Amino acid sequence: MSKLNWGMVGGGAGSQIGPAHRLGAGLDGAFAFAAGALDHVPDAGRAYAQSLGVAPDRAYGDWREMLEGERVRDDRVDLVTVATPNATHYEITKAFLEAGFHVLCEKPMTMTVEEGEEIVRIASATGRICAVNYGYTGYSLVRHMRAMVARGDLGRVRLVVAEFAHGHHANAADADNPRVRWRYDPAQAGVSAQFADCGIHALHMASFVTCQEVASLSADFASCVESRTLEDDAMVNFRMEGGAVGRLWTSSVAIGRQHGLTLQVFGEAGGLRWTQEQPNQLYWTPLGGRVQTIERGEAGLSPEADRASRVTIGHAEGMPLAFANIYADLAEVIRAAKEGRVPDPAADLYPRAEDGLRSMAAVHGAVASAGRQGAWVDARPPMFRAP
Ligand code: NAD
pLDDT digits 0-9 by tens, 339-383:
999 999 989 999 999 999 999 999 999 999 999 999 999 999 999
Three-state DSSP at 16 gives coil
- Complex prediction ipTM: 0.99
Is the bond preceding 108 in cis, omega lying within 30 degrees of 0? yes
Mean pLDDT, range 126-150, rounded to an integer: 98
Provide mean pLDDT across the span 8-24: 97
pLDDT of residue 1 exceeding 80, the answer is no
Over 80: is that where the pLDDT of 387 sits?
A: no
Pocket of ligand 1 (CB under 6 A): 9-12, 15-18, 37-40, 62-63, 83-86, 88, 106-107, 133, 135
By alpha-carbon position, which residue is closest to atom 34 of ligand 1? 107
Q: Ligand 1 pocket test: pick from 84, 137, 252, 360 the residue with the most ligand atoms within 8 Å of its Cβ.
A: 84
Quote the ligand 1 centre to 85 CA distance (angstroms). 5
pLDDT at 127: 97
* Domains located in the chain, CATH noted: 4-132 (3.40.50.720), 137-311+356-370 (3.30.360.10)
Asked whether 308 and 325 are in contact (CB, 8 A), the reply is yes
In this structure, is the dihedral angle defined by the CA atoms of residues 237, 268, 265 and 105, taken in order, positive or negative?
negative
Percent of the chain past pLDDT 90, that is, above it, reads 97
Render 127-191 in DSSP notation, one character per residue: T--EEE--GGGGSHHHHHHHHHHHTTTT-SEEEEEEEEE--TT--GGGTT-HHHHGGG-HHHH-S
Residues 173-204: tens digit of each pLDDT: 998 998 899 999 999 999 999 999 999 999 99
